[in-house]
Chain A
Amino acid sequence: MTEVTMNVNGRKVTRSVRGNELLVEFLREQLRLTGTHVGCDTSQCGACCVHVNGELVKACTMFAAEADGAEVATIEGQANADGSLNVIQQAFQDYHGLQCGFCTPGMVMSAASLLKDNPKPTEEEIRHHLQGNICRCTGYHNIVRAIMAASGQETPAVAAE
């Protein structure tokens, strides 16, 4: 076992981890941050996307020990300080960008990473960026629109087409 310390959603945590313990296991099992999901075992689905030191990371691709000393952000830390949904989260609700909700935390984390680097992405850029996040419910239509809306770009209202 190795002791690691990291800052998760602004809170310093120190825990013992197994050498082969994945970051996603650490978040879900040790910290009980169960918003980060596991949808595959080949790092394809993106349900476990988090931010490590500001970079988008699939938390199944990294050992917890590798995140020692890191700043980690998960879906649980994304809402505004008053608890209300942040701009991206609110856009996902407004534009019906989620159905079963299982891929959603990864989608929101992935979208946040995109908009940090590219504040006004085109539809094509959004779709390209989301290649690593699989959604089985929405057909991506409303996810793309939600991200367009979150970036302040015009997109038709839901159910008004």
Chain B
Amino acid sequence: MRDFFSAYRRELIASGVLVVLLSVYLGTHPRGASTYVLTIWANQCVILGLVAIAQFFAVIVRGIDLSVGAVMALTNTLASHLLDGSAVAIGLGIVAVLVAGVLCGLLNGALVVFGRIQPIVVTLATASIFVGIALILRPTPGGAVNYDLADAITLDLFGVPTALVIVAVLVFAFWLPFRRTGLGLGLYAVGSSAQGAFQSGMPVTTIRLAAFSLAGLFGAIAGLFYTFVTTTGDAGIAPNFTLNSIAAVVLGGVLLRGGTGSLIGALIGAFILKTIAALMFFSGIPSLAQPLFEGMILAVAIAIGGADILRARNRLEAFGR
């Protein structure tokens, strides 16, 4: 039991914060914990949660992806063209959107691995390219999406928000099994020490490429989900989501130096951020002061995450971080 606590300390602290924030939110919301309120809340949280997962896969191998928002904008605008018509057409459209995301991620990965450019700079440049393509696809926000499908994905299943069901499936059917596969372990190994992983005979190059491709894939899933929630394509969403995804993974206990953290943590971090924003709306704080409070809560949350340093027994421990 103690092992469990020390292994998942970061996730447990973050989920504790989330539970407190969520109960305050549901307590202050005029309509309480109804399915309606929860569905809207879950949709917003899950959009950012999926982008945060994309960021997580880049960060876990000691990278960073400043193009997650751009991949999301690109796939969102693409989806706004492809998600209407017959069932077959929509199915193919979804596949095409996901493939586009993976290709974006693969391009990032290839430039990092073979071009030997730092991830932060690569993704800065590719983000500009992806946003450009998104702007060609949708110069102004618009588009049509099949409403039945959008409703099915963004409303509720027997009173439980579908978005939360999707997240549960993602965690239990994808992440927990994936974590134990060779690739899943490889991500952590490369993030902790690329040299160590290489000397143990791990295919470091392939693992890095896979990590960035997964980042692209989840960027696309986020773009797809965003399309279902808003039913429009908008090329201008990139910067906001990129910056929030970094804040989300850090809040969820994922270390930017790589090798530490989990997909669940990234999700919780995103949920915390969005719950804070939702909480602001009903908190009675004057609307002009809300952005300031949001920023301050973000800074305090991050500072608490950094308070680990106060437990360091030796100042030299700090430099390894």
Do A and B assemble together? no
Residues of B within 8 A of A (CB): none
